[in-house]
Structure 1
Amino acid sequence: MIIKVCGMREARNIHDVLETGADWIGLDFRPGSERYVSQIPSYSGIIPDSGSLSPFLSNGRCGQTKKYLLCGVFADDMPQNIVMRVVNYGLDIVQLDGVESTVMIDNLRRTLDPDIHAGIRIMKRIAVTCREDMELYKDFADSVDYFLFDLQAGMDDWTLLEAYRGDVPFFLGGVIGTEKTDRLKSFSHPRFYGIDLNEEFETAPAFKDTTRLKAFLDKLR
């Protein structure tokens, strides 16, 4: 089970979260989000803007010897903005949370792979409020590498996931906290790949409580 901790922004906190055993780190590039990761403007038409975490991330990838992946979260953003952040932050995965079309996704992949980032992976988030939402995956099955099935507030019926018959691996997201440990350990699906964790482990927007997170992951694994 891959552990993706999303909504990260503070360099030291990212380092500490990785020490708990997280596998993927999610950076939020959706303007207006409380967890938005900003660019550092160059104020030049020649030198591109740089990533606000770039110096720290480029320093041995947070000083980690363990391999981890960086996932950038976008929603209906312009392709050139996504490409710029893939370059500036060394993103391994692009997560799309908006109403992006398969044409846009396919074009984005061709732009990035292989010239800019060979093997870039793309994840599509699908908000799940009812069983019919689970059928939306069919529109994207040939265009993405992962799905994030994001169970919305009040949606606690995990049997909905049984409706997924696709071949693309999926992450489970939504309200996932310590109270879901036993349920996650017993959950089974042939394409279940990992979980997406975020505000349930925060003490403030973008800042994770690593003590609680480590206790959760130790029990889960």
Structure 2
Amino acid sequence: MRDARNIHEVSQLGIDWIGLDFIPNSERYVSQIASCAGIIPDYSSLSDLSSDKLSQQKKGPVLCGVFADDMPQNIVTRVVNFDLDVVQLNGEESMVMIDNLRRTLDPDIHAGIKIMKRIVITKREDIEKYKEYAEEVDYFLFDIQENLKDWSILEAYDGKVPFLVSGNIGAEDIENIKTLSHPLFYGISVNEKFESAPAVKDIALLKDFLEKIK
């Protein structure tokens, strides 16, 4: 998400996490505002929430920043400026990079920061890719691609790290969500099918969906 008012409205629906996209070529990219201060160079572009500032919403949704093959210093800056709780890595990040990122952030910059690694699932064998990162991350995001759309493959996951599921999820996936019984299934990530415009969630559509899956 990107619009401050829309974020506030969605947070009232009882959702658990809000994603902020920091991948530069994304149409949902969340920009920063130059401070010209020469220290930490940018401010959060969402700081105009006034009394509803994200820093005051910590009793509400977790803030998850989405990155892909970004430089660690860029990730650290955004963790500070946007007060992120989770760093989601969508690229080809190595285990060494992830370990260094965590050591940089925790505890000096953000104690207890969580890291989530996205695994793209195009075939059943892809579920095994989690093993490369199992010792380095706090969550996996299994992104089931359109060519597969077979949630039963998630039952093959035998790791110990909780996972979320994404993959252009819509109302047609409600039954899949309700029937997924894996003990480490942590949640779902919804995106395009609940937008009225890029990075803007349709409140009524999202509310109806949430009511149906609960």
Query: Which category describes the TM-score, using the shorter chain as reference length?
Result: over 0.9
Cα deviation, residue 207, structure 1: 0.6
Judge conservation of contact 2:87–2:116 (CA < 8 Å) in 1: yes
Judge conservation of contact 2:88–2:116 (CA < 8 Å) in 1: yes
Residue 218 of structure 1: aligned partner: 211
Residues 79 and 90 (structure 1 numbering): CA distance in 2 closer, same or farther, change over 3 Å? same
Structure 1 alignment gaps of length 5 or more = 1-7
Cα deviation, residue 10, structure 1: 0.2
The farther-off stretch of 109-118 and 148-157 is 148-157
Matches within 5 A, 1:1-221: 8-46=1-39, 48-56=41-49, 59-61=52-54, 64=57, 66-221=59-214
Q: Distance in 2 between matches of 1:45 and 1:146?
A: 35
SS of residue matched to 1:83: helix
Deviations, residues 98-124 of structure 1 (Å, cap 9, x unaligned): 000000000000000000000000000
Cα deviation, residue 42, structure 1: 2.4
Q: Distance in 2 between matches of 1:47 and 1:194?
A: 34
Deviations, residues 59-106 of structure 1 (Å, cap 9, x unaligned): 453865842210000000000000000000000000000000000000
The percentage of aligned residue pairs carrying the same residue is 64
Q: Distance in 2 between matches of 1:141 and 1:133?
A: 14
Q: How many residues align?
A: 214
Greater relative CO (CA pairs within 8 A, separation 6+): 1
Cα deviation, residue 127, structure 1: 0.5
Judge conservation of contact 2:47–2:53 (CA < 8 Å) in 1: no
Q: Write the letter of the residue equivalent to 1:187.
A: L
Cα deviation, residue 202, structure 1: 0.6
Residues 63 and 16 (structure 1 numbering): CA distance in 2 closer, same or farther, change over 3 Å? farther
The farther-off stretch of 36-45 and 120-129 is 36-45
Judge conservation of contact 1:11–1:62 (CA < 8 Å) in 2: no
Q: Distance in 2 between matches of 1:172 and 1:105?
A: 21
SS of residue matched to 1:67: coil
Q: Write the letter of the residue equivalent to 1:156.
A: K
Judge conservation of contact 2:47–2:54 (CA < 8 Å) in 1: no
Judge conservation of contact 2:40–2:77 (CA < 8 Å) in 1: no
Residues 135 and 40 (structure 1 numbering): CA distance in 2 closer, same or farther, change over 3 Å? same
Structure 2 alignment gaps of length 5 or more = none
